[in-house]
Amino acid sequence: MHSHGVVQLLFIGTSEHSIDPKARLAIPAKYRNQWDPNKDGTAWVVIPWPGGILRLYTESDFEKLAAAEHNTLTPSRGVADFEAGFFGFAERCEMDSAGRITLPKKHLEFTKLKGDVVVVGARNRLEVRDKASWLAEEPGRFALLGTLADQVTAQRTAAAAGQ
């Protein structure tokens, strides 16, 4: 995938995995095999997200995306609160020699993730979700795909028109 001439990893598909008793998650080989430590960094940035989700970004992509945001010394209260929460919850997690990361205890408490999970390729990130919930929601998620695509297209069109 190209973004301003920079090649980013494109994460697609799903993979069933588990979080072990030591809070470790093996990054699926199909994603690890795309990884170039010189370009992508040596770690993942993990962020807990409402709805029982962990979002994982490559260290390099996280830094690029964070730098692309508008920066100011005087953010509005809402922006300041969001940034403190978002970046405050972000944690850098190194992969071990077996391709595993140890997930922060606080992140697992917030998301209630444990045991069987699904690792979902979500374009520029991976999402870790509860396996049973993901499988139960899959038919509905598929049925809504066209509607969601129309909504995203409408939002992008409105943003491009400066509305």
pLDDT tens column, 59-112: 999 998 888 877 878 888 988 888 889 899 999 999 998 999 999 999 999 999
Q: What is the model's pTM?
A: 0.87
Asked if residue 117 belongs to a domain, the reply is yes
Asked if residue 136 belongs to a domain, the reply is no
Percent of the residues in the chain that have a pLDDT greater than 90, as a whole number: 64
Supply the CATH number for residue 39's domain.
3.40.1550.20
Percent of the residues in the chain that have a pLDDT greater than 70, as a whole number: 95
Asked if residue 69 belongs to a domain, the reply is yes
Give the number of domains in the chain: 1
Give residue 3's pLDDT band: very low, low, confident or very high (50, 70, 90): very low
111-121 average pLDDT score: 97
Asked if residue 119 belongs to a domain, the reply is yes
Asked if residue 160 belongs to a domain, the reply is no
Asked if residue 64 belongs to a domain, the reply is yes
Q: Is a pLDDT exceeding 80 seen at residue 154?
A: yes
In the DSSP assignment, the letter for residue 76 is: -
Angle at CA of residue 30, ends 24 and 36, nearest 5°:
85
Domain assignment of residue 84, given as a range: 2-130
Asked if residue 139 belongs to a domain, the reply is no
Q: Which positions ≥6 away from 161 have C-beta within 8 Å?
A: none
